[in-house]
Copies of this chain bind each other. A is one copy, B any other.
């Protein structure tokens, strides 16, 4: 598949360079908008893109445009004539236009709005007012609606009349005179019904809706739970104001997963694909946590320094130092396992704060088993391997593996409690993930290690 695409891309380049534009158009007509956009962004110079865009078959132009990264969109808009801009914007779906506008500087926004139909402009302005990350910000206002007294034939007529511009026609919405949403009906149901049946007798009145201010992640989770193709969005009065379609829900789910993964790795989330990020923006996303965690490691230095004299006084002081990294890493890994498990379960809606005790009890038992296994193996390893290069006595081996046992259990408990507490106080659980927990767990394990070793060996 990928190779096939490479061949098509090469053909495009050849046709474009040799100015065989008729061939170029034929090839383009057989391609999907997403692939054309990918080609233009990755294989053309910025200066070539406008010329290439003008060669696109008319029916593809706005679809391709919707697929671009916002930087590419901005460059093109700045190069467009007013007429070109109007043609593209009028043809785009409303939610794509709004997504685009949200990323543009003010002067470009102004130009886009100036070149939209008055009706579109009004709707765009309304959509722009919804908070970022809300259902309102990802919905489109282009849906098909019926009144309850229509029959199936009239419903199909309405779809035929208005459907071309709608993002989906497969789920239609039934509203009363005040635009209050009273039912949902699918085209499948319409197709399988008699043409004289009334919409009100066929429609499903058991409707799952989102409110405009709902978080878009929760909206997307409803798609994965109920297998919808589209979800109606209503205002506080229950009036239909728009719909979210499954393709946008998929994007939200993917973005949220990426964001959580970034946060878990101590990176501030970025929406751009990796290769489009500037070195400076990568620096900006990574430096805050890196600095914070480096500075908070002062605690571990302080702890080690604090115990220094007593440790050095022990015959086996240096031997004990040698196991600090192993203890810290293992505790960090153990805590990370728990925190990441709980964070993902929270994101998927598998667990909630009220399950805290259930989770604690489960993690405690798992931690006990894990700590037992790891510390037994560690004891064996110390006596068999580490003895070969180090003065490990049975007593030291017992202390190290005993401390390992305690710290694994502590790390697991910290790892599962912190994300839940974060959720409770409405912080994002993902930001307290492993790097943060590692810092806490490091300090804890060092204190335990040093104090136990000094108490038993002094």
A residues touching B (Cβ–Cβ < 8 Å)? 1, 29-32, 34, 156, 159-160, 163-164, 169-170, 187-188, 191-192, 206, 208, 218, 223-227, 229, 246-247, 249-251, 253-254, 257-258, 260-262, 264-267, 273-275, 277, 279-280, 282-283, 286-287, 289-291, 293-295, 297-298, 300-302, 304-306, 308, 311-312, 318-319, 321-326, 328-330, 332-334, 336-337, 339-342, 344-345, 348, 350-351, 355, 358-359, 362, 365-366, 369-370, 373-374, 377-378, 381, 385-386, 389-390, 404, 408, 434-435, 438-439, 442, 446
CA distance A170 to B187 in the complex (A): 8
Q: Known interface pairs A253-B253, A264-B264. Does A294 touch B362 (Cβ–Cβ under 8 Å)? A: no
Q: Which chain B residue shows the least CB distance to A265?
A: B340
Q: Is the CB of B226 within 8 A of A191?
A: no
Q: Kindly state the separation between the CA atoms of A293 and B263 in the bound complex, as whole angstroms.
A: 23
**A308 CA to B298 CA, complexed, in Å:** 23
17 A-B residue contacts at CB 8 Å? A32-B206, A160-B191, A170-B187, A254-B257, A258-B348, A261-B264, A265-B340, A273-B350, A283-B366, A297-B326, A301-B323, A301-B390, A306-B389, A321-B321, A321-B324, A328-B328, A332-B332
Q: How far is the CB of A297 from chain B (nearest CB, A)?
A: 4
Partner of A434 from B34, B188, B265 at Cβ < 8 Å: B265
15 additional contacts (CB under 8 A) given A266-B336, A301-B386, A336-B435? A32-B226, A163-B191, A169-B191, A170-B170, A224-B254, A229-B229, A246-B246, A273-B345, A274-B342, A277-B362, A280-B369, A291-B373, A294-B374, A294-B377, A308-B321
The closest CB in chain B to the CB of A343 belongs to B261
Q: Cβ of A322 and Cβ of B308 under 8 Å apart?
A: yes
Contact indicator B333/A386 (Cβ below 8 Å) = no
Most buried by B among A226, A305, A330: A305
A378 CA / B254 CA spacing, docked (Å): 36
Q: How far is the CA of A428 from the CA of B358 in the complex (A)?
A: 33
Please name all residues of chain B whose beta carbon is closer than 8 Å to the beta carbon of A254 when the two chains form the complex: 224, 253, 257, 348
Cβ-defined partner of A329 (8 Å) among B164, B348, B374, B442: B442
Known: A369-B279, A374-B287. A206 touches B30 (CB 8 A): yes
Query: B297 near A329 (CB under 8 angstroms)?
Result: yes
Give the top 7 A-B pairs by smallest Cβ distance, nearest first: A265-B340, A297-B326, A227-B247, A257-B257, A300-B325, A274-B345, A273-B350
CB distance from A262 to the nearest CB of B (A): 7
Partner of A164, one of B192, B227, B289: B192
Contact of A169 among B188, B223, B386 (CB under 8 A): B188
Taken together as a complex, chains A and B put the C-alpha atoms of A164 and B227 apart, in Å, by 17
In the complex, residue of chain B having the shortest beta-carbon distance to the beta carbon of A32 = B226
